[in-house]
Amino acid sequence: MKPTKDQFLAAILKIERFSPAPRVLSKAMGLLRNPNSDLDDIVALIRTDAALTADIIRGSNSAFYGAGERVASLDRALQKIGFRESIRLLNHAVAHLAAGRHLGSYGIAAEDFWAESLFHGLLLEELATHTGAVSPDDAHTAGLLRYIGRLAINQSIDDLGGGLFWNDNEPVEQWELDNVGVTQAQAGAILLRHWQFPDVTVQAVEWQHRPAEAPQPNWLAGALDFSAALLPPGSESAHLGYALAAAEELVAAHPFMEANRLEPAMVHKMIEVARAGVATVSQSLHK
């Protein structure tokens, strides 16, 4: 007998047992908004997760942050790169820990899941920087974690016996509703709310495919919908360029363009920056 929706919802919340990293990120974003916060506060937070600590130290020693002293401790790593850049590296480390898993039920390899998540984070950051609509840090986080619900659904299927696989001939949202009872967007919002992310981030993830139906205007939801039009779910990292090139023809017709007074050439440049960033971050931090 197939598990019920309630059983899936209970299993989804158990995803936190893998790592406290997303909750750490939620608290760190709060520290970023507090002018009285300092590096010691970030160090204390990150030290609660050994895997996250190792990723931060490794990242601070990468070519991405330039040559110089190689550090072996978390506090020295954060001193080396500074407070704000520490938050950015923390974003990437958390997303890498979350997205670095094969999604068997979706047929998505870990490297593709990671590249896709990273692209959305970098593109949303570019869009926020250009428009000034929201904090680029908040946009970056929303993009990186937009598909955290997929991870939750995939793991809940495994925990409850497995045997469910998405056929990409069927709309993925319909497959999720038919088999689990919730979409990945809904599952992601459940997790982000549980981890105490800001309401604006939770609602952005929840309404990422239907921003016009959100209970209140949410620029991040519209930006997520726009970036999803550029990069279809499950795009292979090796074919990232081809997927983006094919989708760019649809850019001008998307309502997000007019609402934010964006020109196709401008968006094309942002896409190239985000695409280059995927390669740079992946190669420098996690290879």
21-30, pLDDT tens digit by residue?
Answer: 788 888 888 8
* Per-chain mean pLDDT for the chain: 85
As beta bridge partners, residue 108 has: 103
Give the pLDDT confidence score for residue 18 in this predicted structure: 58
Question: In which residue ranges of the chain is pLDDT below 50?
Answer: none
The Cα–Cα gap between 209 and 173 comes to: 10
Cβ neighbors of 212 (< 8 A, separation 6 or more) are: none
* Main-chain dihedrals φ then ψ at residue 108, nearest 5 degrees: -115, 125
DSSP 68: S
Residue given tokens 């469910």 in the structure block: 164
What DSSP string runs through 140-159?
Answer: HHHHHTTTHHHHHHHHHHHH
Domains, the chain, in order of start with CATH, read 5-18+102-285 (1.10.3210.10)
pTM: 0.88
Residue given tokens 């009285």 in the structure block: 36
With both helix axes pointing from N to C terminus, report the angle between 264-285 and 240-247 in degrees, rounded to the nearest 10.
Answer: 170
Cβ neighbors of 231 (< 8 A, separation 6 or more) are: 116, 119, 120, 240, 243, 244, 247
Give the pLDDT confidence score for residue 105 in this predicted structure: 93
Give the pLDDT confidence score for residue 166 in this predicted structure: 92
Cβ neighbors of 276 (< 8 A, separation 6 or more) are: none
